[in-house]
């Protein structure tokens, strides 16, 4: 479980995104994402799109997570846009 960490709500998992340098939450269950249950090599379905705004401006991160690898889609606003087969990293100490 060093890749996908449960939060206080067991129906939410999160993975560390090396592009955004933070965790992205994924809601599971009937109205949420499908999850293969494999914390070492997770697959979530469908894609995960995160839109946020901070002091650096608006950010878009859109990816598939398949068998423990991130596929960044072309509409990402960050430098890893379009990169495929990015291995999920262990959860870094102190990451949010």
Per CB under 5 A, residues contacting Zn ion are 17, 19-20, 61
Least gap, CB of 30 to Zn ion (angstroms): 25
What values do phi and psi take at 48, rounded to 5? Answer: -115, 120
**How many other C-beta atoms lie within 10 A of the C-beta of residue 13?**
24
The tokens for 62 are: 């859109």
Least gap, CB of 37 to Zn ion (angstroms): 22
Instruction: Return the number of the residue (30 or 55) whose C-beta is nearest Zn ion.
Output: 55
Instruction: Return the number of the residue (28 or 73) whose C-beta is nearest Zn ion.
Output: 73
What values do phi and psi take at 76, rounded to 5? Answer: -65, 150
């Amino acid at each position: 479980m060093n890749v996908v960490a449960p939060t206080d709500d067991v129906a939410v998992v999160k993975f560390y995104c090396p592009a955004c340098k933070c965790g992205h939450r994924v809601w599971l269950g009937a109205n949420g994402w499908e999850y293969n249950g494999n914390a070492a090599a997770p697959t979530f379905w469908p894609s995960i799109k995160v839109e946020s705004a901070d002091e650096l401006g608006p950010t878009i991160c859109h990816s598939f997570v398949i068998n423990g690898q991130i596929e960044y889609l072309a509409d990402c606003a960050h430098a890893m846009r379009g990169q495929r087969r990015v291995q999920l990293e262990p959860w870094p100490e102190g990451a949010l």
